[in-house]
């Protein structure tokens, strides 16, 4: 440890970094991402008993990356490292870590498929998952989460923002509203606020969930009644991520295709990491699958764009997972005989 470094605890270091980011005029969403990512870093520091940032080494940072890769997808870790790297640069400037340490934290290598529109929940799998939930776990929290994500293609930030009062029974629809001052947000702000049609069958699942005795009836810190609840209140994004990962495990609705036993699978159990299942899908992959299915069924890209709150250019580049033959089959419906 160089003699020029001044002792700084991880907690104090993170507080200083976040204060700097907040005062730098960053968007609130950027700041909130930093808060979440740095909390994971603090959890790791506590687990590794790191009490002074002066002692951080490149090898330890490599261990931190491996630790996060055991919990979430590599593509998620890649994004989270950006905040930690910025924190390391800030700490170097205030003599808390060595200069250049930020350049020694490396993102995990991604296969091309992990960062493209290719990773999505296929419609056949979605049907099996929802069919199993409909039969064995009707109107459960997991059933409603998967039904809403697949039917609407909404983001998990939109899902967690829904209140009971946002259900519009007479229209069989749900209202999505940007409420940043009340603890929830939509990615595109007020421009993302909209009504989304569910239809009678899908709306009934949501309505019946409200009467499920296993659903905690809670209010959040702003006095709002969230639709999707935990015993602690409105779920966070990471919690929804884990729910969806687990719901898409093949062993939840059939046999494991990976020759694993649920009793000792690293993705299962209270100490397991649901994302470690090769077949697990994230909420974003469900969104991709839902968008692709809407397009395959002949819904116009313009309607999908408004329904899913995604620009047309982004839709074609990142969400449309159809192959060329599937696109041709959809176009045939608009051609003369």
Taking alpha carbons only, the member of 190, 196, 135 closest to residue 167 is 196
Give, to the nearest 10 degrees, the angle between helix 10-23 and helix 28-47: 170
Task: Name which of 297, 210, 313 is nearest 305 in CA terms.
Answer: 313
Every domain of the chain and the residues it spans: 10-115, 123-288
Kindly state the tokens that stand for 229: 């609840």
Taking the model in full, what pTM does it have?
Answer: 0.68
Q: What is the pLDDT along the chain (337 residues), one digit of tens a residue?
A: 556 899 999 999 999 999 998 887 766 777 888 898 899 899 898 888 888 999 999 889 988 888 887 777 766 787 788 889 999 999 999 999 999 898 888 766 544 434 444 578 999 999 999 999 999 999 999 999 999 999 999 999 999 999 999 999 999 999 999 999 999 999 889 999 999 999 999 999 999 999 999 999 999 999 999 999 999 999 988 889 889 999 999 999 988 988 888 888 988 987 788 888 888 998 888 999 999 999 999 999 999 999 999 999 888 887 888 888 888 888 887 777 6
Contact 185, 179 (CB under 8 A): yes
In terms of CATH architecture, what is 10-115? Orthogonal Bundle (1.10)
- Asked if residues 58 and 41 have their Cβ atoms less than 8 Å apart, the reply is no
User: For the chain, where are the alpha helices, taking DSSP H only?
Assistant: 10-23, 28-47, 58-69, 74-93, 123-136, 141-152, 156-161, 200-210, 237-247, 283-296, 301-308, 312-314, 324-332
Count CB neighbours of 119 within 10 A. Answer: 18
For residue 163, the cross-strand partners are 226
CATH topology of domain 123-288: hpI Integrase; Chain A (1.10.443)
Neighbours of 269 (CB within 10 A): 12
């Amino acid at each position: 440890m160089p003699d020029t470094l001044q002792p700084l605890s991880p907690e104090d270091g993170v507080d200083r970094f976040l204060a700097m980011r907040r005062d730098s005029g960053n968007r609130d969403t950027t700041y909130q991402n930093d808060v979440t990512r740095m909390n994971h870093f603090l959890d790791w520091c506590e687990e590794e008993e790191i009490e002074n940032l002066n002692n951080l080494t490149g090898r330890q940072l490599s261990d931190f990356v491996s630790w996060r890769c055991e919990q979430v997808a590599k593509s998620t870790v890649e994004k989270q490292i950006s905040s930690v790297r910025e924190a390391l640069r800030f700490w170097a400037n205030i003599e808390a870590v060595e200069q250049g340490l930020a350049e020694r934290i490396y993102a995990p290598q991604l296969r091309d498929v992990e960062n493209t529109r290719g990773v999505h929940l296929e419609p056949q799998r979605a049907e099996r998952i929802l069919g199993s939930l409909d039969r064995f776990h009707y109107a459960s929290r997991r059933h409603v989460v998967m039904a809403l994500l697949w039917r609407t293609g909404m983001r998990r930030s939109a899902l967690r923002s829904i209140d009971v009062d946002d259900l519009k029974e007479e229209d069989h629809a749900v209202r999505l509203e940007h409420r940043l001052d009340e603890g929830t947000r939509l990615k595109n702000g007020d421009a993302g606020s909209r009504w989304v049609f569910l239809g009678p069958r899908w709306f009934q699942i949501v309505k019946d969930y409200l009467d499920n005795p296993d659903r905690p009836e809670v209010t959040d810190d702003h006095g709002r009644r969230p639709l999707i609840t935990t015993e602690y209140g409105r779920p966070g994004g990471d919690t929804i991520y884990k729910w969806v990962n687990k719901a898409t495990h093949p062993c939840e609705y059939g046999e494991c295709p990976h020759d694993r036993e649920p009793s000792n699978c690293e993705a299962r159990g209270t100490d397991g990491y649901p994302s470690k299942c090769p077949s697990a899908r994230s909420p974003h992959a469900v969104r991709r699958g839902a968008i692709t299915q809407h397009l395959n069924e002949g819904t116009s890209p313009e309607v999908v764009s408004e329904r899913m709150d995604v620009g047309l250019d982004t839709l074609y580049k990142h969400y449309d997972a159809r192959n060329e033959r599937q696109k041709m089959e959809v176009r045939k419906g608009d051609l003369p005989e």
